[in-house]
Chain A
């Protein structure tokens, strides 16, 4: 395994002419944008995205369902749990329903700190997310491998005496278990009691998904590893799980009109006691 993980988006090591953008290898945030029907992607991303889809046609539904979980989780946190502060690490390129839009629709004064270390994601976030914000949002250029630095910087906007929802949406797959669990636990340790933690990631319960992911990891992009559902549990160690617990993404508090789909990503929301 390589050591070129980042906060969830690619950190190219090739010559990128000083901008951190490499258009010769696929870029996870841009491929994700492509699968979600966006236009902020390049030929190399579309080729990689199509190749992936040939092996695992379900990926488009996975992408959409995962965003659906983000929406439902944030809505639950804002509406049912009364959370007004969100720390969303590994933001990705803006899409239709970003964390702050969902949260600020429930409570316009919700504060959101987005964290990423990909220059393209940050540029888009500063320009386009700000334009849609009803309330205060902030973007941090920081690496998740330094959790304390993120917590420190987030304290400029967030009040660490009040509960905070920590969100890691589809980014811990970029790390091995040995790296991932300590990162998550250190982040959780910095949050006050009554805070929440929401996570989803890809699981290895489908052969085609696993195979497509392997092909992607061989393409030169920053790799992303699928976990067995059991290996998700340590992320939530010591937390009180919100019903229905750790489940496939479509099963987490589905909308009443949701059509049943089989999805191989797992998710959960836990509360810090």
Chain B
């Protein structure tokens, strides 16, 4: 085997690496210690254009056959350096990166140890790279259909952007109507736009667009495949209504005799029928029968909806339907859940009648809500004379959620405004820790509330109680907090308390990540590819995220992310083909004994078994290169491209360069 000519480049990364690792020592040592190294340099910023040119020139002038860059994580710049190699005519899989930043200089302050480790890592990379073979990326076609999961404002935006650009979209929504949380709101901050007025036109467009297939009251059951080629199974839950016949007249809903508390759209503040549409402007307009509470499904009686329907659209025998679709990309826009304030017993939610959650209050002030927009106490009749709004409920609290929910200060101010508007004589108190108003027009909105006469008390509420200590407090809810700007404890008796609960991930977020094979963080929010530079992609190719499912955010940010995800997908569709990493497994079929151990090990279902020849085969396109089958094969005849045994063992021996065999065996 002719000797390879390896170029080693040790990056300073400013002081990130050079501050701890003696980079020039490492470079010099690499040149002297390893026979294969033809060139060894150190440079301040290898990823810069000058740094890359250094590599390219050396390849051309020195005839390098392999390149090693010792720098940051391959997640950061493997692509960058591979590009440099390709430009100079060297196959990019003849390149290897040694991570001496995240794995070394950022892991310790001990300079000596860090330098030693860097040398070992570089040596390992060199020994590995000489074992590597050239590989070619695999082209994959992108199916032009896109699946969008979640019909809230982020999902609707993404769907419309893609559809208007001429692409076909399947929009799946689990509730009977699209609209999400935004449809529940009355006014939106800071402009006080009517939420329904700005949302319903978009809902209408999404529901009637030629390029959008809307599947409401449906859920994704399984996802298989890879970018450009996802096979998705969607369960269309039985609405008990024939959509071809239904005209949306609403008579069935009127006639239905059973009403239940509406926990979803009315946030528990109002009722809905069992045969219902979540709200009058629902898209699609078809009602749905809640079989769990329906008299017919429970006892066989009633059937009023069926008999009153003028077009015979009620079909009790309708069953769930499963659709299988192929899409190229998926955008998840599944939204958020509101923090359940019952978890904080000292705030009394659920124990005292006149304490309301934020979504309950939203529904109350909504003109189409259970009180037609009147602010009243839980008896439905009495007007409160004083209202307290409690910020940071379940947020910024290590006992519940440590993060700040971003939108609550603004919506709390909005509530204060609505109280002033509808109850001009009422006193309104906002209890806060910090006033967070970072968006456009937000601080000005805060000033408006100051002008309107809101009493702002800087103090996190300790508890809300009805235990009166004197006559002023009888029959009131007493909010106790320290007014930190004065430095005394205050008890403010009010008639109504609104808890500004925080934003949480959906309760089934973890299950969703498992379904789509991407990840979520400890709070359940989906993990983006890069928190600063790529908030809409995930680590799984072809799956994107948008809106509150990625983290708490308001409507403008959700719309922006929805549009961004759509743009990314549109770009992929336009390209038509995507190049996939050739890091895949390959079964030597001559040597395969047909034991099939690998078949069930594959998490991507990428191995097929040929009964006629009694051998297994890896479907290259489905394989994600995880290496499980490679390790599992008892005959050792599955090889992982770019992770062959020779490559991995050389790397290990390279790391152990300074450990003599005697030491190991002793």
Q: Do A and B bind each other?
A: no
Binding site for B on A (CB under 8 A): none
